[in-house]
Amino acid sequence: MTAVTATTDATEPGGARVPPAIGRAQALVRPALEEAVARLSTGLRLPVEYHLGWCDPNGAPTGAPGGKFVRATLALLSAEAAGAPAEVGLPGAVAVELLHNFSLLHDDVIDHDVERRHRPTVWAVYGVGTAVIAGDALLALSHQTLLELPGPGPRAASRALAFATSALIAGEAEDMASETRTDITPDECTAIALGKTAVLLACASSIGVPLAEGDPRLAETLGDFGLNVGLAFQAVDDVLGIWGDPQVTGKPAGSDLRDRKKTLPIVAAMHAGGSASEELQELLELEALDEAQVARAASLVEACGGRDRAESEARRFLEAALEALTSAEVPGPVDAELRAVARFVVDRDA
Amino acid sequence: MTAVTATTDATEPGGARVPPAIGRAQALVRPALEEAVARLSTGLRLPVEYHLGWCDPNGAPTGAPGGKFVRATLALLSAEAAGAPAEVGLPGAVAVELLHNFSLLHDDVIDHDVERRHRPTVWAVYGVGTAVIAGDALLALSHQTLLELPGPGPRAASRALAFATSALIAGEAEDMASETRTDITPDECTAIALGKTAVLLACASSIGVPLAEGDPRLAETLGDFGLNVGLAFQAVDDVLGIWGDPQVTGKPAGSDLRDRKKTLPIVAAMHAGGSASEELQELLELEALDEAQVARAASLVEACGGRDRAESEARRFLEAALEALTSAEVPGPVDAELRAVARFVVDRDA
């Protein structure tokens, strides 16, 4: 266990026990990701390597593994689920990590977020233009990684990646539009999470199957697994966005309340009705919230059942993910690892 | 001729005679492009349709054709060059137009440009976040357009598009980096133009060949043609950026001098040596330039041979493009249309 723990992300000091599959993925994917990033033009490598946590703003190496590699881990496991060695899923793992990081770079610009993983965001360090183009470069590289490979497997994987990309972008657009809407329902929150988070996890969890030239039905089942893991992941994220430990999440307490994000617990609480729900609505209409008001809003969301709703959705989607696996014919050890990763995603505290 | 002229872009009141191939491309590509854009999520359609010139900021139709469709025209002609009907090149035409517009949307954000084609840019109207994500959506859609098609042709076309995308982004990154450099040489200007403009025109000019399952050597020759058309295009753009008629270009006189752009005529003049060159350098180091200073800088660039240099490069690259065609076995009428489009690109005044 020591070796695996040593390679886990520094952002998870009190995190859940890291599944061995994640440690293995880090060892396999990091060098491949480095090779891909080395293909970027000089001016883009520094901001991208900084974003990935590999170096400080001036390029000095940090020695950090750079992320949890959850998506890459799922991609490798999906190749193994189809009976191939993990290496067959590697281009898919690199592609989904690149795609994920494209979306983080642009999301931070869109949301004006100045901090991510306890560090200033790329646009805050290098400017908006650099963050936009660095994101563009990762998106392009993500597709190139698969399109350069010969054979029908990579072609099917490319198509899956292109579909996930469009859905991801549509999800972000809907999320952005939701910020100015006052009539979002809890079900719409889940629909937005589908595009914003779940589609990419579905792609990650199945992309190794076409690469291994496995059964398309297996890809579908694993996609269903990943979609539910993603929905659970987002529900957990929404809980951490209010009640997460600032020391661990790297965000101020009640961050999502401060930013008036329309997340599931907040929307559910605002739809609950009653005096606590009304008080919450009034608080969230204020120009700016001080610390006491943020704390009050958080306890109102909890009192209105918003936290319970998000936590029970997380459990429900985790169960659905595990249930989906039951119907798939996946070798025992791979099945166990997929389940461990799904549980890890839901049990995390950052 | 009347019918074709009636469909040309309003931004070209005094423009060169529009080749019939462009009119045909507009009629074929516009409906296909509309179909592609209709797949975007609701919140992104409006900014994209506004960007394309199809509607005003509130969505009211403008009746304008939306762009010159130069890239789309080249894509259709490349399919015809390979002996297929233009329709076979249509997905390639749509893909390159989408890719081109992705790059315009992001370039305007990166360069802080508030106006394009006589209209406020998307970020200036709808905000930076919307422009970033609308660009992302067009990039994703561009790749999806080809990846969804079955068969080996579209696969090769997808690869070509992915390569062009990466080169385009690298070119924009280098262009951005060049803004802060004081030691750019005229040759480096051409190298930047290669990535920023020429690679996409090379892709447009050849993408119909794989779609028509034509000879890869023909794709290579047409790519060479397009690369040179692109380099000529950029040199003309650089001349118009200083001496273009504001009424026609939609940009203020001496626009590139005001913005301290490191374009070929400016860089060549700064490298010319002598007193005029030194006076120019001093002018361009000032905090801001008034109208008289812009006019003085423009005449200094001309006196130092910067305009001659760019105009002779434009002619040289046009000749190289036409020369490349000579070695290709392209049906006579298609050959004539390719040459007409190449000349149109160089003779334009906006």
The tens-digit pLDDT sequence of chain B (350 residues) is 333 333 334 334 445 688 999 999 999 999 999 999 999 988 899 999 999 999 999 999 998 888 889 999 999 999 999 999 999 999 999 999 999 999 999 999 999 989 888 899 999 999 999 999 999 999 999 999 999 999 889 999 999 999 999 999 999 998 888 888 878 999 999 888 898 899 999 999 999 999 999 999 999 999 999 999 999 999 999 999 999 988 888 777 888 999 888 999 999 999 999 999 999 999 999 988 999 999 999 999 999 999 999 999 999 999 999 999 998 989 999 999 999 999 999 988 77
Q: Which residue has the higher pLDDT, B13 or A142?
A: A142
How is residue A262 written in tokens? 């329309």
Contact between chains at B177 and A143 (C-beta distance less than 8 A): no
CB contact under 8 A, A132 and B148: no
Q: What is the ipTM of this complex?
A: 0.89
Shortest distance between the Cα of B38 and any Cα of chain A, in A, equals: 13
The helix-helix angle for B152-179 and B128-147 (nearest 10°) equals 150
* Longest CA–CA separation in chain A, Å: 62
A202-245 pLDDT tens trace: 999 999 999 999 999 999 999 999 999 999 999 999 999 999 98
A143–B170 C-beta distance less than 8 A: no
- Nearest-neighbour CA in chain A from B268: distance (Å): 24
Q: Best of A169, A184, A203 to disrupt the B interface by mutation (most B CBs within 10 Å)?
A: A169
Which residue in this structure is represented by tokens 């005449």?
Answer: B299
The structure tokens listed for A35 are 């090779």
Whether A139 and B136 lie within 8 Å, measured CB to CB: yes
With tokens 């798939």, the residue in question is: A328
- By DSSP bridging, strand B119-120 and strand A115-116 are unpaired
How many other CB atoms are found less than 10 A from the CB of residue B235?
A: 28
Q: What is chain A's mean pLDDT, rounded?
A: 91
Query: Does pLDDT of A323 surpass 60?
Result: yes
Residues of A in contact with B159 (CB under 8 A): 147-148
Q: Is residue A4 over pLDDT 50?
A: no
Closest CA–CA distance from residue B148 to any residue of chain A (Å): 7
* Cα A27-A28-A32 angle, rounded to 5 deg: 120
Neighbours of A157 (CB within 10 A): 29
Pick among B123, B136, B141, B175 to test the A interface (most A CBs inside 10 A): B136
pTM of the model: 0.91
In this complex, is the C-beta atom of A130 within 8 Å of any C-beta atom belonging to chain B? yes
Nearest CA in chain B to A141: B166
Chain B residue with the nearest C-alpha to that of A146? B159
Beta carbons of B173 and A132 less than 8 Å apart: no
What is the spatial distance between Cα B31 and Cα A47, in angstroms, rounded to a whole number? 40
Tell me: domain A22-347, CATH 1.10.600.10, correct? yes
Question: What is the DSSP track for A225-265?
Answer: HHHHHHHHHHHHHHHHHHHS-HHHHSS-TTHHHHTT---HH
Question: Where in chain A are the domains?
Answer: 22-347
| Cβ <8 Å between B132 and A129 | no
Does A143 sit within 8 Å of B41, measured CB to CB? no
CB contact under 8 A, B147 and A165: no
Question: If you measure CA to CA, which chain A residue comes closest to B112?
Answer: A129
- Helix (H), strand (E) counts: chain B: 19, 2
